[in-house]
Amino acid sequence: MFRRIATVAGAAVVSGAMIALTTLPAVAAPDNVHTFAIPGVHGISAWGNYLRTGPTVRITVCVKDTAHDVYGGAAAGVAYDARHHQAVTAITIGYGHTGCQTMTSRYTAHLVVDTLSGWRDGKVRQAGPARQVY
């Protein structure tokens, strides 16, 4: 019996240490992460963030289906400069589901984001207005 209690107590200590270690990066997160909202459409909410690190930018976009009558949605971000571009797209299907995607790009001059919702047959239900983040 004592062996079981010691094992449970040891597991709790290890779990506590793991929780403490996994929360460390969140505490040490850089202050220069910029969050942004992406204009939503019916049944879809979208957001993201970016972090400039030297010659690159790390961009994350997320999308969530918030209505039962919407089959799915997508959010996209396009980083570009005068001659090149690179896109990241997050997709979700089903009420209450969330999808996120991240990319690192060397095209740091501009970032434009957009979102859309879709019908079950794959056709676009509603597209939102594009928004320039920077």
**How does residue 26 score in pLDDT terms, banded at 50, 70 and 90?**
very low
Q: What are phi and psi of 72, to 5 degrees?
A: -175, 180
13 pLDDT above the threshold of 50: no
Beta strand residue intervals within the chain, DSSP E: 34-41, 44-53, 56-65, 72-80, 85-93, 98-105, 110-118, 124-127, 131-132
Q: Which domain holds residue 82?
A: 31-132
**How does residue 30 score in pLDDT terms, banded at 50, 70 and 90?**
low
Same domain, 89 and 62: yes
Give the three-state DSSP class for 44: strand
Note the pLDDT of residue 7.
35
Name which residue leads in pLDDT, 15 or 28. Answer: 28
What is the DSSP pairing of strand 85-93 with strand 98-105? unpaired
Same domain, 38 and 1: no
Same domain, 64 and 1: no
Q: What is the total count of domains within the chain?
A: 2
8 Å CB contact between 62 and 90: yes
Note the pLDDT of residue 40.
86
Same domain, 65 and 12: no
Same domain, 62 and 115: yes
Q: What are phi and psi of 16, to 5 degrees?
A: -60, -40
Question: Can you tell me the distance from the alpha carbon of 72 to that of 120, in angstroms, rounded to the nearest whole number?
Answer: 8
How many residues does the structure list for the chain? 134
CATH number, position 71: 2.60.40.1230
Same domain, 36 and 57: yes
User: Tens digit of pLDDT for each residue in 42-59?
Assistant: 999 999 999 999 999 999
Same domain, 5 and 53: no
Same domain, 94 and 120: yes
**How does residue 122 score in pLDDT terms, banded at 50, 70 and 90?**
confident
Same domain, 21 and 39: no
